[in-house]
């Protein structure tokens, strides 16, 4: 999948022939043929002409708009054939408490298992006792999740698992001081800024995959329905948080690809990447996703859920997603 990232502020995206051109102050920055692009991600203050939008839709290109602080503003999705039967099945199963609990358990157990796997991979002795304690707690919570008889109790297990995991997460960093505990809105340190931004990117991609297949991205199983929240995309992103976003964040900071000076801090919006840091992040992001075939794995996950809803296969066991 070829993704065009536009991060330079004050640029303009226009079309010429069957090509897209990014320019600033009349100077061309890059040009790409439409057939080579499957998705465009626009970050911050970038103008898009109506002609470019029309060409993007005509070529079936997904377009996502993000604010400078990394939050998703919205998406432009090309008109694709929709499988209404998938949505009917989805709505039916969302009202089936047994199915909801089974699907939610799959999500939570996979998330815990992948978090466990990441905590096992630290190759130094520092804070090993913290990681060991967290691994024991996560293992116990994984077993306890099997005994949950309600969604409410399962959500409680998930919350306890997240707390145990993020207590040990700083020990994966060579500079644990870069992470002051999980903070979301706003992110209060550089590591949280990268985590939140990466999660947004994965949710955006999953939302597009779900919409293309015919799902309603806003009707989830683990995540309840809430206005404007893509609950099903949030469900499906859970297994990929630790092995994709968290693992990449550890790599970026431990190898000093990103450093504190690559971030700016705002009292209301918290930390966010500066332009040069953002370019390095996207370069590493694309390499990581491509090397580990993350998009293919997410597509398979969406297809599997579709097959389960249509009765074409049994419910899957939770899986461990390993990344290099």
Asked whether the beta carbons of 238 and 110 are under 8 A apart, the reply is yes
Q: Quick check: pTM over 0.75?
A: yes
Q: Is residue 317 part of a domain?
A: no
| Pairing of β 11-16 and β 62-66 | unpaired
Q: What is the DSSP string of 95-136?
A: T-HHHHHHHHHHHHHHHHHHHHHHHTT--S-TTHHHHHHHHH
Asked whether the beta carbons of 111 and 161 are under 8 A apart, the reply is yes
* pLDDT-wise least confident of 57-71, 131-145, 220-234: 57-71
Q: Is 123 in the same domain as 52?
A: no
For residue range 45-70, list pLDDT tens digits in order: 899 999 999 999 988 888 888 887 76
Q: Is 67 in the same domain as 96?
A: no
How far apart CA 35 and CA 123 sit, in angstroms, is 43
Sign of CA dihedral 272, 192, 241, 109: negative
Work out how many domains the chain is built from and give that number.
Answer: 2
- The CATH number of whichever domain residue 30 belongs to comes to 3.100.10.20
Q: Is 243 in the same domain as 118?
A: yes
Q: Is 44 in the same domain as 178?
A: no
Q: Is 27 in the same domain as 69?
A: yes
Sign of CA dihedral 290, 64, 244, 142: negative
For residue range 175-189, list pLDDT tens digits in order: 999 999 998 888 999
pLDDT value at 195 more than 60: yes
pLDDT at 126: 75
pLDDT at 81: 59
Domain that holds residue 211: 84-309
CB atoms within 10 A of CB 293: 12
Q: Is residue 233 part of a domain?
A: yes
């Amino acid at each position: 999948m070829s993704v065009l990232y536009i991060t330079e502020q004050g640029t303009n995206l226009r079309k010429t022939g069957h090509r897209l051109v990014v320019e600033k102050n009349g100077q061309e920055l890059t040009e790409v043929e439409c057939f080579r692009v499957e998705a465009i991600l626009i970050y911050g203050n970038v103008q898009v002409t109506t002609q470019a939008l029309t060409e993007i839709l005509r070529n079936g290109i997904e377009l996502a708009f993000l604010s400078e602080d990394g939050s998703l503003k919205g998406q432009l999705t090309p008109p694709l054939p929709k499988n209404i039967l998938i949505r009917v099945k989805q709505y039916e199963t969302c009202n089936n408490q047994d199915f909801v609990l089974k699907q939610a358990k799959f999500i939570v157990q996979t998330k815990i298992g992948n978090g466990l796997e990441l905590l096992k991979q630290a190759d130094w002795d520092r804070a090993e006792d913290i990681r060991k304690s967290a691994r024991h707690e996560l293992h116990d919570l994984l077993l306890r999740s099997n005994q949950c008889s309600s969604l409410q109790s399962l959500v409680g297990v998930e919350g306890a698992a997240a707390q145990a995991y993020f207590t040990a997460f700083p020990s994966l960093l060579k500079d644990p001081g870069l992470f002051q505990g999980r903070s979301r809105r706003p992110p209060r340190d550089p590591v949280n800024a990268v985590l939140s931004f990466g999660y947004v990117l994965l949710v955006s991609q999953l939302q597009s995959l779900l919409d293309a297949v015919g799902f309603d991205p806003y009707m989830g199983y683990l995540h309840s329905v809430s206005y404007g929240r893509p609950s099903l995309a949030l469900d499906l992103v859970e297994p990929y948080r630790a092995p994709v976003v968290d693992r990449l964040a550890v790599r970026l900071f431990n190898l000093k690809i990103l450093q504190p000076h690559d971030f700016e801090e705002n009292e209301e919006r918290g930390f966010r990447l500066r332009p040069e840091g953002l370019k390095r992040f996207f370069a590493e992001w694309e390499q990581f996703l491509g090397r580990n075939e993350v998009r293919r794995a997410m597509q398979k996950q969406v297809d599997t859920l579709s097959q389960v809803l249509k009765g074409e296969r049994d419910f899957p066991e939770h899986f461990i997603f390993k990344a290099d």
